[in-house]
Amino acid sequence: MDSKMRINGGKPLMGTVEAQGAKNASLPVMAAALLLKNSSLRISRVPNLLDVNTMADLLRSLGARVLFSDHEMFISIPDEISWETPSDLVRKMRASSLVLGPLLARCGRAIMPLPGGCSIGSRPIDLHLKGLTKMGATIELVHGAVHAHTKGLSGGRIYLDFPSVGATENLMMAAVFAKGETVLENTAREPEILNLVETLRSMGAIIEADGTGVIRIQGVDSLHSAESRIIPDRIEACTYILAGAATNGEVTVTGVIPNHIDSLLAKLEEAGAQMTVTHDEVTIHPSGRLKGVSLKTLPYPGFPTDLQPQIMASLCIAQGTSVIQESVFQSRFLHVSELNKMGAKIDIQGNTAIVSGVDRLTGADVVATDLRAGAALVISGLAAGDSTYIYHLGHIRRGYEDMEEKLKSLGADVEILPAEIDGTRESQSSVCRES
């Protein structure tokens, strides 16, 4: 049964939380383990999230042994693994598509249902498939599933039409055993990509990546056991920083890498927020009412699309107007109607949201339509002067470890309750398999 979160807002958050390991680094690093044979990958600082456990189940379904406790994961891969992914798991999480490259590289075959679209857009994987075809894979779509096979992948030059995170990760992993050199151009440059590069290198892959959008991979014959450590989750960390800003509180997030979140820190400074930044901590101080700002989401190092809903929630009560342009996903504004239910004044014009700051938000029953939209509603609930009920919490659990405990440690009045089955309420939101 899904559950709901009740938030009695209007109180400044005060205290310190530690950033979890990055969800969007953990998932590709886990998938990379499939490149191993009779070897193992030990990963530390893995967050205990729904999506991480889904990926662990997916690896197990292919024949891996996965042990996971207290943020430490041990994945051992036998000599033979299956190359056919179970559709129920793939449909649960789009990031399952990250096993495609490793399976093709390691087994020469892969069968994987096409990941569905969701509330933030159609989310195709055409760039993944185009790159794999260029490397010598034969790809057919049969009954909504990708059937891929190859006699052996070959290197070459692949230019990505868009710096897709997933396509960069899939093609990099596919290239590890390819004949010769593979040069990926116009790649994604997110920190999670470099975390994957470091992991693959520690397994014996030969990869050059300096964050400039060009990645060179020299094919090798095999990889070996290794250890990897996941970087801090920059999106989770910024979610708590923005919650501090929205409640005029004093919140310190520890265990972060500040230069991974430069774009948010710069935008918050522009909005008048007072912050202290050290080598691994960020503190936001009571800054009064933020000033409205304008931003456009872009691939890293631009402002991250995964923070767009959350900063929008914080700017709903800013002084003046904010203009937020979403350029990465087709439609990532489903949280707007829920924020407007709480008294926000947001007008959507195409891929741009015009946010007119209001003095205060009021509590309401709202629905999380996807992971980051849910996080935005938590922020608006914390800022609102009374009670807010957030339904479809499952989305939030996909990407935020122990959010209720972390918020309580910051003094928030939150509680998780069973969600009564309310025909209108529960059926309202579209189900999203983003991630």
Instruction: Report the DSSP pairing between strands 387-391 and 365-367.
Output: parallel
Q: Smallest gap, in angstroms, from Cβ of residue 401 to ligand EPZ? A: 13
For residue 9, CA distances in Å to 19, 290, 384 come to 23, 18, 5
Contact flag: residue 78 with ligand EPZ (CB under 6 A): no
Stretch of residues binding ligand EPZ (CB under 6 A), selected from 32-40, 122-130, 144-152, 344-352: 122-130
How many residues lie near ligand EPZ (CB under 6 A)?
A: 27
Stretch that binds ligand EPZ, among 20-28, 254-262, 389-397, 419-427 (CB under 6 A): 20-28
Site string for ligand EPZ, 25-44 (x = CB under 6 A): --x-----------------
| Angle ∠(58,64,68) on CA atoms, nearest 5 | 80
Query: How many other β-carbons are positioned within 10 Å of the β-carbon of residue 198?
Result: 18
Residue 372 interacting with ligand EPZ (CB under 6 A): yes
Does the CA dihedral 251-252-255-261 come out positive or negative? positive
Q: What is the C-alpha to C-alpha distance for residues 209 and 221, in angstroms, rounded to an integer?
A: 20
CB 117 within 8 A of CB 432: no
Q: Is 328 in the site for ligand EPZ (CB under 6 A)?
A: yes
Regarding 54 and contact with ligand EPZ (CB under 6 A), the answer is no
Taking contact as CB under 6 A, which single stretch among the options 36-44, 67-75, 119-127, 223-231 is the one that binds ligand EPZ?
A: 119-127
State in angstroms the smallest separation of the CB of 170 from ligand EPZ. 9
Measure the CA–CA gap between 228 and 209, rounded to whole angstroms: 17
Q: Which helix (H) or strand (E) holds 103?
A: helix 100-107
The 3 state secondary structure assigned to 117-135 is CECCECCCCHHHHHHHHHC
Residue 432 among the catalytic residues = no
Active-site position among 107, 118, 238, 432 = 118
* Nearest of 34, 132, 46, 44 to residue 77 by alpha carbon: 34
List, edge to edge, every strand of the sheet that includes 109-113: 109-113, 145-149, 138-142
Closest-by-Cβ residue to ligand EPZ is 166
Q: Is there binding between residue 101 and ligand EPZ (CB under 6 A)?
A: no
401 makes contact with ligand EPZ (CB under 6 A): no
Please select the residue that binds ligand EPZ; options are 9, 292, 374, 399, rule is CB under 6 A. Answer: 399
Q: Which of 88, 126, 405, 422 binds ligand EPZ (CB under 6 A)?
A: 126
Shortest separation between residue 115's beta carbon and ligand EPZ, angstroms = 8
User: What Rg value do the Cα atoms of the chain yield, rounded?
Assistant: 21
Q: Token digits for 206?
A: 């030969």
Q: Which residue in the block uniquely carries the two structure tokens 């994604």?
A: 188
d(CA 193, CA 389): 36
Q: Which of these ranges, 100-108, 143-151, 157-165, 194-202, lies near ligand EPZ under the rule CB under 6 A?
A: 157-165
301 binds ligand EPZ (CB under 6 A): no
> Which residues are catalytic, by number?
118
Residues of the shown chain interacting with ligand EPZ in the complex, contacts defined by CB under 6 A? 23-24, 27, 94-95, 121, 123-128, 162, 164-167, 188, 305-306, 328-329, 371-372, 399, 434-435
